[in-house]
Amino acid sequence: MEIKDQIVDLLKKSEPLKGGEIAEKLGVEKKDVDKAIKALKKEETVISPKRCFYSVEK
């Protein structure tokens, strides 16, 4: 499963998370999460309800 898919699945099941928390829960590097989050925000799959926190539309 691609990291972007893992992030979306994780955010669907949780409250808004920071990039570092996402990386920790998925066991991947934060820089990889940051890159995936940037792409997901551009696709409008992920939203940022407040600064540095990420979530998906429910």
Distance separating alpha carbons of residues 14 and 23, to the nearest angstrom: 14
More confident of the two residues 58 and 10: 10
Task: Quick: pLDDT tens for 13-44.
Answer: 999 999 999 999 999 999 999 999 999 999 99
Domains of the chain, start order: 3-56 (1.10.10.10)
Residue 9 has pLDDT above 80, yes or no: yes
Residue 58 has pLDDT above 80, yes or no: no
Distance separating alpha carbons of residues 21 and 58, to the nearest angstrom: 20
Contact 19, 11 (CB under 8 A): no
Residue 17 backbone phi and psi in degrees, to 5: -125, 155
The pLDDT of residue 1 is 82
In 1-58, the DSSP E strands lie at: 17-18, 46-47, 53-56
Q: What's the pTM? A: 0.92
